[in-house]
Structures are given as C-alpha cells and as structure tokens.
Amino acid sequence: MNIYGSKVHVVIVGGGFAGLACARKLAKSDDVRVTLIDKNNYHQFQPLLYQLATAELGTGDVATSIRQSLRRHSNIDVKMVEVTAADPRTRTVTTREGESYQGDFLVLAAGSQANFFGTAGAEQSAFPLYSLEEAQRLRSRILTVFEDADRDPKLVKQGALNFVVVGGGATGTEIAGALADMINVTMTTEYPDLAVKHARISLVDHGHALLGPFPVKAHDYAARTLQQKGVQLRLGVEVKEVASDHVLLSDGTSIQTRTAVWAGGLMASPLAASAGLPQGHGGRIAVRPDLTVEGFPCVYALGDFANIPGPDGQPLPQLGSVAQQSGEWTAKNILAEIAGETRTPFDYHDKGIMAMIGRDAAVAAVGKKRHELDGPIAFAAWLGVHALLMSGVRERIEAFIDWAWSYFGRSRPIQVLDRSDGGRIDWDAGSESGSTVASPAAKTAH
C-alpha cells in the first residue's frame, strides 16, 4: 500500500512519445491507475512523416492505435477526446465536450504544432509537416500537381512542378531530399509525357547553413547532397509571404508554386496557453529539473510541450529521445513520491542526432561527444535507430518492406491520391478548394 492509502490516479494528456512512455512505465505499478487522453486514437511517429508525405511509407507504418499498444495494461483507461483547458491547481483537465478528468497527478504531454512566426499567408496556404493529417494532405498535393500537369502541360509554366520548402533544419532538409528522390527516381519514369525535368525544389532558410545543431561538416555534406539532387538552396533570405500560387522572399524574388512546405519551426500545442502556467521559448511550459511545474509538485510537463532544462541550464531540444526519456522519468518520480521518496532531477542520456537526406545519404552526430558519420553508414544507422523507435513489430516489418520496395524497385509503394481533403486546385482562380483546411494557428513568434 502506498502513502495515499488507495490507487493513485494519474491523468496524462497526450499519447505521443512522452505520454506513452510515461503510461507504460506507470502501468507496471499496482498502486496506480492511469487515464491517458489523446485527441486522436493513434500514436503518430513524427520522424517518418516526411516519408508518408512522399509516398514512401503508408499511414499504418507511421501511426499505431494507442488502445492496441496499451491493451495488455488493465490499469490504463484510454479516452479519445480533445482537452481544451487544464487547471494545475486542481489537477483537472476539461474536454471540448465539457467533461472533466481530475488526477492526483497531472501529466501534460500535448506536444507541439507548426509555428508560422506571423508570416503573411503561411497559416492559410502553406503545407506544414508536423502531424499525420498534414503529411497526408501534403502527399495529396504533390500527387495532384503531377496529375494536373500531366493532363495540361501548360500548368508547368504556372509553377505546378515548383516546390518550396521553408526551413533548413532536420525536417526541411529531410523533406527536400525525399522530394528530390521522388521526382528524380520515380516521377521521371511514371510520367513519360510530362517534362518532369522542369520540376524545381527550392529550400529557403534565413540562416546561412543547413542542419543548424549538427557539426559544420554535416552542414556542408547536407548542402552538397541536396544540390547534387537538384535542390536549389536559398540561404540567408526570409520568406515574407506565402500565397496559394506563390512564395515571396525578402530579396524580392517571387517563386510561383502551389506547394509551399512549412518546416520553419515549432511551438507548444495551444493547450499550453490555457493552463496559465509560465511559458518560455516556443510557448513551451517551463519546468523544474525534476519535470514538475514550479509551485505545482503534482503537475508535470514533458516532451515537446515543455522547456526542460539541460545540464547547461539551456532547454533540451525537441527530440523523440528527450520526449521518451522524460516520460519514463516522470513515471519514476511519480512512483517515488507515492512510495514516500523524493523526486530526482531528469538525467537525459544524449545518444546524438541524425538526419536523412534521401537515398544513401544521411548525417549523424553520435553520443555526447558528437562522433560524426555521413553517407551510407549514417543512412544504415538512421534506418536501424528509427526502426527501433517504432512502437510495434508489425510497423517495423511493414516499414522495412516499404523501404526496400522503394529502394530497389525505384517506385513508391503508397502512391495513392486521397481526395478526402478536398485538395483540388483551381488553376484559373489562383486559389484552391482545399486551402481552407485549417492549419494550426500561429500564436507566438520567437
């Protein structure tokens, strides 16, 4: 029996890397019952979203049912519902339908969404790449512009095959490389009547190097690799406006395009603002070293939702490994507390960072000392690490089959044009029926 005298109730908001890891560890204790709340019924594997968008992997490879993942744990109750408010004083969350869930402990792990930094038109017209729905919508757009241009080649002159990627971090670099491979390897074969050679990918970033947090050698390797694949780098310029038919840059250049991919940055999910808690960079909740929120020892914030202080006091980066480990640590601290022991500061085990830049090309900086790898070795390491991060054996096997299919077969296994998002393009009007699909609102710019 614990010091509470009965089963302790932990309410977790978010079934991402952080929330799921926390729930799984808590599930092993007989002293605890957990309510895990997520607005979706699936856990999405964000690191592979760009492969979903470029038809290399299917939905089932990058999303798993939360209920199925936790079905063996009878002390976890899963609720699919959107939380719209959190009250840290009473450890209660309220849903869009007006229901409330109160816990002895509240764990906030609601992740992040695109940050448009107030860029004109970006929220309405750009294609962000931070959720499953967004990746599916982008895939539909890429396939639609090829189909439309194949039917009416004049559309190529209107920028149908121009793609603009905003952001030169890991997400932007990865999608630019994957898109270049899709065009160079697959589309050239599958659209023999279309002048695919006129397709252009521009990657825009206001900084002067790609992959900022990586060592300098990786910046150069990424730039060289993308240029070899035909990607035009526009570094040192800002995106001033995104419209449905063009992107305007700070140097006055206007690029005609129907596909502006937004990989420009992240901010905490809007739930962060509702809790009335101190927010820092990116709108994320500031937490103490033990992951609790200042003044609320039974409220935790973790993963992408929080600014977690690292050893140097600076916030740790938004990474799957930080999220997963912070989820496990939170569970450990909750279990310590209900056993009458003290909480301990989060000790992040830094395994390094990696990014894929397309076929046979990747960069990795491994461990705290950042041992550098690039080329096919880093590519193989990337495949292995990401397969291990996936939550189920079935997902791993399916992903490997799809990877092998596109690698050796040079075709895309999941090239299915899903019209459910209404993404038809009205080429005459310069606007499209699907452009009203809501993108998350940009609230803070940092």
Ligand X SMILES: Cc1cc2nc3c(=O)[nH]c(=O)nc-3n(C[C@H](O)[C@H](O)[C@H](O)COP(=O)(O)OP(=O)(O)OC[C@H]3O[C@@H](n4cnc5c(N)ncnc54)[C@H](O)[C@@H]3O)c2cc1C
Tell me the CA end-to-end span of the chain in Å, nearest whole number: 47
Binding mask 253-292 for ligand X (x = CB under 6 A): ----------------x-x---------------------
Of 218, 210, 216, 186, nearest to 199 by C-alpha is: 186
Tell the smallest beta-carbon distance from residue 36 to ligand X (Å).
10
- 3-class secondary-structure state, position 230: coil
Please give the residues from 44 up to 73 whose contact with ligand X meets the rule CB under 6 A. Answer: 46-47, 49-50
Q: Does 94 bind ligand X (CB under 6 A)?
A: no
Q: Does 13 bind ligand X (CB under 6 A)?
A: yes
Query: Judged by CB under 6 A, which stretch of 204-212, 290-298, 320-328, 399-407 contacts ligand X?
Result: 320-328
Of 168, 256, 258, nearest to 204 by C-alpha is: 168
- Among residues 56, 134, 174, 395, the one annotated as catalytic is 174
Of 372, 354, 362, nearest to 177 by C-alpha is: 362
Q: Which of residues 271 and 335 has its CB atom nearest to ligand X in the complex?
A: 271
Query: Judged by CB under 6 A, which stretch of 43-51, 176-184, 283-291, 293-301 contacts ligand X?
Result: 43-51
Cβ atoms of 354 and 51 within 8 Å: the answer is: no
The residue number whose beta carbon is nearest to ligand X equals 16
Using alpha carbons only, give the angle 288, 320, 414 rounded to the nearest 5 degrees. 155
Cβ atoms of 284 and 306 within 8 Å: the answer is: yes
82 included as an active-site residue: no
Distance CA 330, CA 336 (A): 10
One-letter amino acid identity for 331? A
Tell the smallest beta-carbon distance from residue 214 to ligand X (Å).
12
Q: Does 320 bind ligand X (CB under 6 A)?
A: yes
Answer for which of 12, 19, 27, 180 binds ligand X (CB under 6 A) is 19
- 3-class secondary-structure state, position 275: coil
Size of the site for ligand X (CB under 6 A): 35
Distance CA 99, CA 118 (A): 33
Q: Does 18 bind ligand X (CB under 6 A)?
A: yes
Answer for which of 8, 11, 37, 218 binds ligand X (CB under 6 A) is 37
Q: Which of residues 159 and 303 has its CB atom nearest to ligand X in the complex?
A: 303
Give the distance from CA 280 to its chain's centroid.
20
SS3 content of the chain, % helix, strand, coil (to 5): 35, 25, 40
Binding mask 331-370 for ligand X (x = CB under 6 A): ----------------------------------------
Tell the smallest beta-carbon distance from residue 274 to ligand X (Å).
9
Q: Which of residues 115 and 321 has its CB atom nearest to ligand X in the complex?
A: 321
Distance CA 407, CA 258 (A): 28
Tell the smallest beta-carbon distance from residue 13 to ligand X (Å).
5
Answer for which of 31, 82, 220, 241 binds ligand X (CB under 6 A) is 82
Distance CA 282, CA 303 (A): 13
* Helix segments in 184-292, DSSP class H: 188-190, 216-228, 271-274
Q: Does 323 bind ligand X (CB under 6 A)?
A: yes
Answer for which of 129, 138, 179, 210 binds ligand X (CB under 6 A) is 129
Answer for which of 61, 134, 304, 337 binds ligand X (CB under 6 A) is 304
Tell the smallest beta-carbon distance from residue 319 to ligand X (Å).
4
Tell the smallest beta-carbon distance from residue 276 to ligand X (Å).
15
Non-local (6+) Cβ contacts of 268 within 8 A are 110, 111, 112, 113, 279, 282, 283, 284, 285, 304, 305, 306
Would you name the residues annotated as active-site residues? 174
* Residues that bind ligand X in the complex, under the rule CB under 6 A: 13-19, 37-40, 46-47, 49-50, 82-83, 109-112, 129-130, 170-171, 269, 271, 303-305, 318-321, 323
